[in-house]
Structure 1
């Protein structure tokens, strides 16, 4: 049986949990959030959207299937810290190459185990996401809390540039290339360009700070904005690029942070959710079809749809008529946006959740097909206009 050092977790409001060290020893700080998925912990850990967040897993048993070399969503673990109740004592999967704890330790990720994660999750649901510290070197809760209060908050944090690729790269289409897309990497997951490549799209992944000239230099058939960490109110550059693309009529698709940037580009604001949506089991309704999808989420901010008319009434923007396309059935938060031209045809759209579903259900995979249809229709219109 593994002998573990004592560890301490302290929230900024003073709530304290004592457990045992898990992963690397030391001390770490971040925003405490909880994720409700019963599977997919490797994808969660390597999702850049979790940068500077301490993830609490609500599922009690974590690490059973170890870590493999295929399921990572980026080249490293991004979480600032990790909280589990009962870590697996042994790995049981033919795909595993090492244990989860060994991977956490190797990448310097400080964690804690053996605490009541249900009580911690209930506290965060009632009080909201907040800053937290984990330490295996400090036993004084008051001293650790002082350092927690001195750590940066998530509101106002500009983090997309910290997780973005430094150099542009290309994910080639699988089979015949049908379209070329410029994708702004605000914290993109590996599976996202792969899902597009499966549909014949050549994806040019560009750094978060790219300009509209950088986008147009790719000669794209469409623009994509990815998921990512931090406060969308700081994403002035990507919002400016998107406005310029919409002015040119470039088909657009956005996911998660990209949805929030789309809202900003259309003239709306964003706000911080109480404790966010994080997990692979979140119900969302498509307002057009009234179909309910079970979806994968990871976001702490959302678009504020502020109009004087009825609930989610469509509004005119400089680029067309904007409407809410999807809502969360748990709390009625905006989960998707659509932009239509004067002819009523779809010009651009986005969703707040993750249709690439790594990990998660595949209910929303059709959105990649919708992006293909959008680019096909735009190409057909261009052919008619030039004929």
Structure 2
């Protein structure tokens, strides 16, 4: 850890592991109240308070009654600068164990935590948890080959994993055209020579070449077969993947505790019926012992003890409210009236994923800031 202005910095990956391990954590978030209310660090044993940094420049008296005397105080801001300043003020007030979160919420948003889900033929499947945004992506490996599904834009973290495990990347697959985060699939495919797959019904306006992801197609990775299943509803092209006849990757159609929203391309009325058809007929006809692996999660209540997000399809048929609405009219009302706000910059993100925009790094980061909002509440 680095020393800067007498306040120790802690990397976001260390903090994330503490969150996943269920440690008792006290966090002081010094961003503006609006930013905090929109999006914050969450965890089972995380206590977090908010006080904008500009109210703490001259004095921390207003929060001293809330600060723990004997436990670490973790301070976070947007980029890591203001948290250093506030942390120094807290130390000078007599608190010894004060840590600034390096890179702030920007770094928290971009961290991917790899968690092994289970074994498959000749290899295993790893879930990359983007803990600061709720995005989930998957690396499927078998006999030295691998594919990545729903790649985030932070491709260096996948590259490090691939290099460490001596894998050859063969395929990048997006289950749909994403609207809440920028895909790294096409860029990583161009960089490595792997094949980039995208559902054709979501790709009618893209500006680049791709391999069409078609119903009934099989993609081979080592000894593993990935079966392609057309499952519209979140988007017109939404596609699911069955991996090794064991795992069902549902994209943004079905989550552990909710279902996908059908409105991010402005066609909710058109796609509600597709969503119901996929959830209530297509998925019902699948083996219910499949393990569901979604592309997002909404909250820590969906996490297993090791931090992974996975559940049997049979369990979701029993417990997920979105799979148990008998009336079509009630279903339509539920998915049209229980929607969170649109994701930040969602149209710009869609245009970027179609190749229409080419924003620089800072702009991409700005576009993605905030929580994911791909589910019906």
TM-score normalised according to structure 1 size: 0.27
Q: Which structure's residues are more often strand, by fraction?
A: 1
TM-score normalised according to structure 2 size: 0.27
Q: Which structure's residues are more often helix, by fraction?
A: 2
